Amino acid sequence: MRDSGRGGAKRENCKLVLVQDAGSKARISVKVKSPWDKSAAWARVLEDGRIELELYDFSQDAQDHMGNDVAWLYRIETAEKPRLKALLEERAGTAIRDDHALLDAFARTFSHVHAIRDWLKAQGIPYEEQFDSWA
């Protein structure tokens, strides 16, 4: 399957979900870099322990092509956190002792949220992807 967003990368370790996730309240959150002007991105740990990355696009391109602002959400299951922390410690060169340190490492280590997503793919860390065309 090809990514319908910018870049056209293959999806191998993710599942595309087009429904609202009612249980996605953030417990902690940190702003990460976004890949485009007129967009914003965050990394969060949700109340249920999952990790969520969000990219919110409020650009004119989003308006022109989608009719409104759009968002992509990438969620990593709690069961993946030990392996994710170990791989991220190696990449970031620092100990990751808790969820705050994990989110901070995302923000410090990667150029933007798509770089995080691409790294997850390369490391074989599965995630769920949700596209919201009415953000």
DSSP 105-130: HHHHH-SSHHHHHHHHHHHT--EEEE
Range of the domain at 94: 14-132
Is 8 among the domain residues?
no
Is 1 among the domain residues?
no
The predicted structure's pLDDT at residue 91: 96
**Does the pLDDT at position 99 exceed 60?**
yes
| Token pair in block for residue 68 | 């409104």
Is 32 among the domain residues?
yes
Count of the separate structural domains present in the chain = 1
Confidence of residue 34 (pLDDT cuts 50, 70, 90): confident
Burial of 53 (C-beta count, 10 Å sphere; 0-12/13-18/19+): buried
Confidence of residue 55 (pLDDT cuts 50, 70, 90): confident
Interval 65-74 mean pLDDT = 73
Of 14, 9, 3, the closest CA to residue 126 belongs to 14
Is 6 among the domain residues?
no
Strand, coil or helix: 134:
coil
Is 61 among the domain residues?
yes
Measured CA to CA, the distance from residue 133 to residue 135 in angstroms comes to: 6
Interval 116-126 mean pLDDT = 97
Is 76 among the domain residues?
yes
